[in-house]
Structure 1
Amino acid sequence: MNKLELKEFLDEKVIQYNNQDFIDSDPVQIPHLFSQKEDIEIAGFLSATIAWGNRKMIIKNSHQMMDLMGNTPYDFVMSHTDDDLIRLEDFVHRTFNGKDFSGFIKGLQHIYKNHGGLEAVFAKHQEKDSLQKSIHEFKKIFFEIDHLPRTQKHISDPLNNSAAKRINMYLRWMVRQDTKGVDLGIWKTISPALLSCPLDVHSGNVARKLGILTRKQNDGKALNELDLKLRKMDPLDPVKYDFALFGLGVFEGF
């Protein structure tokens, strides 16, 4: 395929997968449960944090997280007691356990009490062509308070050459705005043009087969390479192609 044919092919796949049906099998359904901005962004952040492994298990455990917070995530974050955190102790999703969950609740409270909330932190540190420094700065702020060292591994740092798949996916959910109703687009202070593709094994393998990614590792350098190609195809909404790459990999075995 030449460049035009490739773009047309991927545009068709975006239309095929970027629709309401996608929500039913994706953890993006968790923030869709809520209507208040802070509930949406906290629910999205926590469910994106555990979004690795089996998708059904991710969704099941994300629902459990919401249940443990009484399905009022913002109120729980801001008003929890030590006794409330005790009931999180038995939670586990792969290597993310109850102690990590409690640490994240405290980190989120710190973000909202002292830094104006999640959107404010990410918006403050955005650069003109990327949000990867925003993620780096967010991680520093999130862990300013006392925390277990083990919990830090659950937020990736792109400036350490990580593709930061889960947090880039979260930013897609919060920032990207279209008429299809999958991504929530509730953050208005960050441009969708700055978003990076949530690069994982599926999207990476498809991108390599299509010739838009040459680097073999799914790391920060690969993400930068892929971002540059996708931004040439659509400078205003480059991560819409995540739907095409992910759909081709997961649903079509491309």
Structure 2
Amino acid sequence: MKLSKAALKEFLDEKVKKYNTPEFIESDPIQIPHQFSNKQDIEISGFLTATIAWGNRKSILNNAEKLMDLMDRSPFDFVMNHEQDDLDHLDDFVHRTFNSVDLRYFIKALQNIYKNHGGLDKIFQDHSERDSLQPAIHHFKSVFFELPHPKRTEKHVSDPLKNSAAKRINMYLRWMIRQDTNGVDFGIWKSLSPSLLSCPLDVHSGNVARKLGLLKRKMNDAKALAELDANLRKMDPKDPVKYDFALFGLGVFEKEHF
């Protein structure tokens, strides 16, 4: 699909308007944190939901709901005040390769972050760079795993400095940081600019980006993400990841026609 730069921007802006609406929430994992109003509940439910956001969407939503039930629908209180018996209730949880061993550590790591590091947003705030949050994701992973932990659990937090596109954590950062006038993304981390965000790059968005000439690299890795980011920032330097709605919508809802 060959379009001029101006025509491509106009086309994608129209798709953003189409998909960046409250109706988007109904079929997306972002519906889980939308069940909460407390900042920390939104952060934690969002982080855990994003962590398991791969595979079948129905399965993602069902397991995220189950996870909220296991945390008594009060994720922040559960993280901060759980006892051993509460963790034992997590033993049956599994989503693909993320199981109760991983979940137990995630709860402990989140508690450590809120008790000793000022919260999730503080880590990203302190380690963001002038034009990117990818180094901050790398630092976040090191903080997240500073407690004794099972080696297997490390695979559930991606590292851009090891050439990962870090799709799920970039999606989570979009949820938390992007100032969305349409009520989809939360924008509760006010100290971080949406201009720093990177597009959640996966099979769907990658394929659409290639068809549109926004991405040449064939692998969906950190180098591809940097290439896509550069092109999206040319179209909107202040809010580049709004185009995630367009790429996702085209790849998932319009794939027969696109």
2:210 equivalent in structure 1: 208
TM-score (norm: length of structure 2): 0.98
1:237 equivalent in structure 2: 239
Q: Residue 95 of structure 1 aligns to which amino acid in structure 2?
A: T
State the alpha-carbon separation in 1 of the partners of residues 29 and 125 from structure 2: 24
2:173 equivalent in structure 1: 171
Percentage of identical aligned residues:
71
2:126 equivalent in structure 1: 124
2:109 equivalent in structure 1: 107
What displacement does 1:179 show? 1.0
What displacement does 1:146 show? 1.1
1:158 equivalent in structure 2: 160
What displacement does 1:56 show? 1.0
Q: Residue 77 of structure 1 aligns to which amino acid in structure 2?
A: V
State the alpha-carbon separation in 1 of the partners of residues 180 and 171 from structure 2: 16
1:33 equivalent in structure 2: 35
1:247 equivalent in structure 2: 249
TM-score (norm: length of structure 1): 0.99
What displacement does 1:127 show? 0.2
Deviations 1:174-204 (A, max 9, x none): 0001210000111001000000000000000
Say which SS state the counterpart of residue 174 (structure 2) adopts: helix
Pairing 1:138-149 to 2, within 5 Å after superposition: 138-149=140-151
Work out which of the residue numbers 76, 91, 94 in structure 1 matches 2:93. 91
2:62 equivalent in structure 1: 60
2:49 equivalent in structure 1: 47
Work out which of the residue numbers 79, 82, 91 in structure 1 matches 2:81. 79
State the alpha-carbon separation in 1 of the partners of residues 196 and 58 from structure 2: 30
What 5-or-longer segments of structure 2 have no aligned partner?
none
1:22 aligns with 2:18: no
Work out which of the residue numbers 213, 226, 229 in structure 2 matches 1:227. 229
What displacement does 1:226 show? 0.1
Deviations 1:103-155 (A, max 9, x none): 10001001000000000011110000000011000000000001111000000
State the alpha-carbon separation in 1 of the partners of residues 176 and 58 from structure 2: 22
What displacement does 1:83 show? 1.0
Say which SS state the counterpart of residue 201 (structure 2) adopts: coil
Deviations 1:34-92 (A, max 9, x none): 00000000000000000000111101100111000000000000001111101111100
State the alpha-carbon separation in 2 of the partners of residues 14 and 145 from structure 1: 41
Q: Residue 74 of structure 2 aligns to which amino acid in structure 1?
A: T
Q: Residue 139 of structure 2 aligns to which amino acid in structure 1?
A: E
State the alpha-carbon separation in 1 of the partners of residues 242 and 174 from structure 2: 9
State the alpha-carbon separation in 2 of the partners of residues 71 and 148 from structure 1: 27
Q: CA RMSD in A?
A: 0.4
State the alpha-carbon separation in 1 of the partners of residues 180 and 55 from structure 2: 28
Runs of 4+ displaced beyond 2 Å: none
State the alpha-carbon separation in 2 of the partners of residues 54 and 83 from structure 1: 31
